[in-house]
Structures are given as C-alpha cells and as structure tokens.
Amino acid sequence: MWIDVRQLNYWVVGSVMLAFVTGGYIGWIVTRVGCADGTCAGAAVVIGLTAGFVAAAGVGVVVVLASRSMDEWRTADQTDPSTPEEGSSNEVRSDEQ
C-alpha cells in the first residue's frame, strides 16, 4: 500500500509537518517551564510528542477538508454554463420574447 506520488499534495504534507513541529515545540516548552530544572525531561519529551501529534491531526483534518472543497469547486467551475440543465429557470420561453 504505497502512496501515489502523483496525487500527493505537498501543501497538505508541509502544513501537517509544520503543525507537528510547532505543536511539539510548544508542548515541550510549556512542560519544561512548568517543571523544576532537570526534574521532568522525559515528561517534556512525551508531552511534546503528544502535542505534536494532536496538532498535526487537527491541521491535517482541516487541510484535507479544505483541499477537497477546493477540488470540488474547481470541478463545478469547469462545467459549461452555456447549456442549461433540463427544467432550470434559465430557459427562455417563446412567449416571453
């Protein structure tokens, strides 16, 4: 089960990676500030990693939903507006001319 590189959106991957690094750093710093010097280095790493994964998951959900929405919008925008659908109100009747 390999990832198809042609369909990989680098904006999504970059955003998720940046969120992981930023969330992990913030979680690590907050834990280090809350502890006395040298008392909870392991906890700072664990909390930092946890915060990074949570941040990456949250950003990942938002970015994937936004990406799918943009793809749907582009697909709908490419339809030909000159041919109205059957039963639409854009049709001009012969008695209105």
AA letter at 22: T
Tell me whether residue 39 is exposed, middle or buried, using C-beta atoms within 10 angstroms of its C-beta: 0 to 12, 13 to 18, 19 or more.
exposed
Task: Give residue for tokens 């659908």.
Answer: 85
- Domains of the chain, residue spans: 10-73
Task: Give the mean pLDDT of the chain.
Answer: 81
Predicted pLDDT of residue 87: 57
pTM of this prediction exceeds 0.85: no
pLDDT per position as a tens digit, 58-84: 999 999 888 888 888 878 777 756 555
